[in-house]
């Protein structure tokens, strides 16, 4: 895993939250909250919580549940904590591969768009299973193939075209390489889960404009770290190139492009 893919620092968290979250993550957060509500958990652990969009959706759906939201990146959690203050919700910097919680202490573990970044996915899954009670659920959202996430594909290809010597840093990045259901199932089985359900859910990437979507994808993600290596004007050039590529999805109501992810539930 490229180190830059785990770096969320400087202005990245605020741009991520303002532009990338509504474009890509908020629609799936509502799916997670709906599914969690049906399970009626009393204690929820969220890993890779980012800026707390799923945390907030879970709290709205289950206001009486205790939620512990964790992430490796303290700056992201600071944005999350500013969004949501509740006695039922706490934020903690923690590694999903070494969770600081007792065995069998949660009813539900949620991880939206995080497992793709874990350097040892089986270990992270095993940790989630360890802290779940018997019969508890592990609810994951994982990106489908880049070919079914067209806004990200178009922007990544446009940026890659500017820097062809390092195109792999921008196109088909780590979040979209872990999309094979057979591999995902293998890693869950290896962690000890037996009852696993998959559903591939197609939604829409929406933004007020191609320019705003490009800002989120280029400036609000760890890809920014790679872009900035190419000089002081590289970020501006990359954002403009991505915006031009994204104009194909722009209409009178803003940008609208298809996206797809796997929603996976594993039972302990």
| pLDDT one-digit tens code per residue, 51-103 | 999 999 999 999 999 999 999 999 999 999 998 999 999 999 999 999 999 99
Q: Tell me the pLDDT band of 169, cut-offs 50, 70 and 90.
A: low
Q: What is the pLDDT of residue 1?
A: 36
Per 3-state DSSP, what percentage of the chain is helix, strand, and coil (rounded to 5)?
A: 50, 25, 25
Residues 20, 224: Cα–Cα separation, whole Å = 13
134 class by beta-carbon count within 10 Å (0-12 exposed, 13-18 middle, 19+ buried): exposed
Residues 211, 240: Cα–Cα separation, whole Å = 8
Q: Tell me the pLDDT band of 221, cut-offs 50, 70 and 90.
A: confident
Q: How far is CA 124 from the centre of its chain?
A: 15
Residues 239, 249: Cα–Cα separation, whole Å = 16
Q: Which CATH fold would you assign to the domain 3-267?
A: Rossmann fold (3.40.50)
129-143, 146-160, 171-185, 245-259: lowest mean pLDDT where? 171-185
Residues 62, 68: Cα–Cα separation, whole Å = 13
CA distances from 267 to 139, 144, 156, 168 (A): 9, 22, 35, 36
Give the mean model confidence (pLDDT) for residues 132-139: 98
Q: What is the pLDDT of residue 41?
A: 98
Distance between the two ends of the chain, CA-based, in angstroms?
28
Q: Bridge-partner residues for 142, per DSSP? A: 262
| Mean pLDDT, rounded, of the chain | 93
Report residue 266 as tokens.
């594993």
Q: Could you tell me if 33 and 61 are in contact, meaning their C-beta atoms sit under 8 angstroms apart? A: yes
pTM: 0.92
**Choice between 105 and 221, residue whose per-residue pLDDT is larger:** 105
CA distances from 16 to 105, 215, 222, 239, 255 (A): 31, 9, 10, 14, 17
Residue 222 scores a pLDDT above 60: yes
Give the mean model confidence (pLDDT) for residues 182-211: 97
Q: Any idea where the domains of the chain sit in the sequence?
A: 3-267
1-5, 132-136, 171-175: lowest mean pLDDT where? 1-5
Give the mean model confidence (pLDDT) for residues 153-179: 83
């Amino acid at each position: 895993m490229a180190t830059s893919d785990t770096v969320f620092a400087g202005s990245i968290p605020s741009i991520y939250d303002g532009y990338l979250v509504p474009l890509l993550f908020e629609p799936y957060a509502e799916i997670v909250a709906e599914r969690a509500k049906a399970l009626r958990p009393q204690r929820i652990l969220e890993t890779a919580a980012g800026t707390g969009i799923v945390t907030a959706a879970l709290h709205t759906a289950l206001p009486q549940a205790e939620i512990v939201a964790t992430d490796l990146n303290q700056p992201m959690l600071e944005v999350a904590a500013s969004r949501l203050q509740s006695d039922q919700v706490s934020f903690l910097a923690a590694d999903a591969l070494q969770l600081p919680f007792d065995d069998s202490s949660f009813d539900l573990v949620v991880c939206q768009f995080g497992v793709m970044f874990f350097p040892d996915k089986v270990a992270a899954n095993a940790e989630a299973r360890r802290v779940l009670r018997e019969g508890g659920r592990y609810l994951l959202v994982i990106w489908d193939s880049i070919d079914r996430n067209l806004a990200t594909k178009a922007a990544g290809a446009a940026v890659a075209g500017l820097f062809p010597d390092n195109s792999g840093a921008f196109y088909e990045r780590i979040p979209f390489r872990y999309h094979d259901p057979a591999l995902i199932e293998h890693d869950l089985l290896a962690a000890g889960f037996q009852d696993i359900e998959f559903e591939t859910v197609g939604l829409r990437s929406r933004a007020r404009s191609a320019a705003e979507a490009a800002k989120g994808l280029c400036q609000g993600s760890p890809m920014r770290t790679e872009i900035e290596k190419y000089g002081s004007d590289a970020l501006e050039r990359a954002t403009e190139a991505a915006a031009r590529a994204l104009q194909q999805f722009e209409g009178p109501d803003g940008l609208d492009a298809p996206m797809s992810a796997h929603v996976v539930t594993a039972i302990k």
